[in-house]
């Protein structure tokens, strides 16, 4: 196992105020740094988990995967070299910006800019921007991401070589095929991969400890007129109760509670499902009427 968990995201937005409003009204993230070019959002004791960058177009800037140590970083470099993927060491300025000890930068086979790092700045006090409890992070990482790509075999090989193991495959009508869900720690999945005509990030998922806080967030999204891209529902694989809204960076943010943990991360027993949810999640990935 090389990657320990999802560490942080860099996201692009045209108007920083859109992310400030979205983060503080809906998500509950704390704005810990802010100037006219960028802002940093905290959701736990790590300095920041979402770094928002002002840009001409919204989208994903980078994904930081925590490898935990210098030894793991060296193992990652060996894998990247074997796969013939070019990489460079993160500059001192980049490491200071992300507040990590060291990182390397490369593109995964889905054309996502990723940063393999260790040594995040930790031990900070998280003050939620609205009345709510904690996010579920720690050794489970900050949540999960879904990547879509035409280079499906290559991205699967890349992330399994980085230590991810398949939890399950789920048939998705929107993809006309199966999406693969992978774990690298006790979180049921930290990564989902799907074959699609274009490279894209599908969504970022953040887990909140309390179902009540997720329900309150759902009310806020509805009453504030936010773009709810998938209604409240429950996923079959991680059993999470969640809903999706479109973030100011274009891709969706899933907010959920009650995610399963895998007791033994070395368990490689794979299952498959024919639908992503027991109920709900209407829109986007699950366009079918309620039974």
Task: Say whether 79 sits in a helix, a strand or coil.
Answer: helix
Minimum CB distance to Fe ion smaller for 115 or for 238: 238
Residue 49 sits at φ, ψ, to 5 deg, of: -115, -25
Q: Does 205 bind Fe ion (CB under 5 A)?
A: yes
Dig out the tokens for 126 from the structure. Answer: 């998280």
CB of 254 to Fe ion, least distance (A): 5
CB of 48 to Fe ion, least distance (A): 22
Minimum CB distance to Fe ion smaller for 215 or for 284: 284
Nearest to 64 by CA among 123, 109, 104: 104
Q: Does 213 bind Fe ion (CB under 5 A)?
A: no
Minimum CB distance to Fe ion smaller for 64 or for 143: 143
CB of 201 to Fe ion, least distance (A): 11
Minimum CB distance to Fe ion smaller for 108 or for 252: 252
Q: Does 63 bind Fe ion (CB under 5 A)?
A: no
CB of 31 to Fe ion, least distance (A): 25
DSSP 216: H
Q: Does 44 bind Fe ion (CB under 5 A)?
A: no
Minimum CB distance to Fe ion smaller for 44 or for 254: 254
Q: Decide: residue 163, CB within 10 A, 0-12 exposed, 13-18 middle, 19+ buried.
A: buried
Q: 130 has which bridge partners? A: none
Rounded to whole angstroms, the Cα distance separating 50 from 230 reads 22
Residues 6+ apart with CB under 8 A from 81: none
CB of 144 to Fe ion, least distance (A): 6
Site for Fe ion in 244-273 (CB under 5 A): 254
Tell me the residue ranges of DSSP E strands in 30-164: 30-34, 38-42, 50-54, 59-66, 87-89, 102-107, 113-118, 144-149
Binding part of the chain for Fe ion, among 16-24, 129-137, 149-157, 201-209 by CB under 5 A, reads 201-209
CB of 245 to Fe ion, least distance (A): 13
Minimum CB distance to Fe ion smaller for 30 or for 207: 207
DSSP 263-274: S-TT----EEES
CB of 4 to Fe ion, least distance (A): 19
Q: Does 179 bind Fe ion (CB under 5 A)?
A: no
Q: Does 168 bind Fe ion (CB under 5 A)?
A: no
Dig out the tokens for 210 from the structure. Answer: 């309390």
CB of 214 to Fe ion, least distance (A): 13
Rounded to whole angstroms, the Cα distance separating 192 from 277 reads 15
Minimum CB distance to Fe ion smaller for 42 or for 235: 235
Cα torsion angle, 72, 73, 74, 78, sign: positive
Size of the site for Fe ion (CB under 5 A): 2
- Residues near Fe ion, by CB under 5 A: 205, 254
């Amino acid at each position: 196992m090389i990657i320990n968990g999802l560490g942080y995201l860099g996201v692009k937005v045209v108007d920083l105020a859109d992310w400030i409003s979205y983060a503080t009204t809906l998500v509950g993230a704390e704005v810990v740094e802010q100037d006219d070019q960028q802002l940093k959002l905290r959701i736990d004791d790590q300095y920041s988990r979402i770094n928002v960058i002002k840009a001409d177009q919204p989208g994903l800037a980078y994904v930081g995967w925590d490898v935990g140590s210098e030894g793991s970083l060296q193992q990652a470099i060996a894998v990247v070299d074997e796969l013939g993927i070019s990489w460079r060491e993160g500059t001192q300025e980049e490491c200071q910006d992300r507040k990590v000890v060291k990182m390397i930068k490369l593109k995964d086979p889905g054309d996502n800019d990723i940063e393999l790092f260790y040594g995040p700045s930790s031990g900070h006090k998280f003050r939620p921007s609205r009345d709510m409890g904690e996010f579920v992070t720690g050794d489970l990482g900050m949540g999960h991401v879904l990547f879509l790509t035409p280079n499906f075999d290559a991205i699967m090989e890349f992330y399994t070589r980085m230590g991810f193991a398949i939890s399950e495959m789920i048939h998705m009508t929107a993809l006309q095929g199966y999406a693969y869900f992978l774990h690298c720690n006790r979180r049921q999945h930290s990564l989902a991969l799907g074959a699609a005509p274009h490279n894209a990030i599908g969504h970022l998922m953040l887990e909140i400890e309390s179902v009540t806080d997720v329900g309150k967030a759902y009310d806020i999204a509805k009453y504030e007129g936010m773009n709810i891209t998938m209604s409240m529902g429950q996923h079959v694989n991680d059993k999470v109760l969640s809903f999706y809204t479109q973030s100011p960076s274009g891709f969706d943010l899933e907010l959920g509670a009650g995610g399963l943990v895998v007791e033994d991360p070395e368990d490689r027993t794979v299952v498959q499902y024919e639908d992503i949810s027991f109920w709900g999640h209407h829109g986007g990935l699950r366009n079918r009427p309620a039974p």
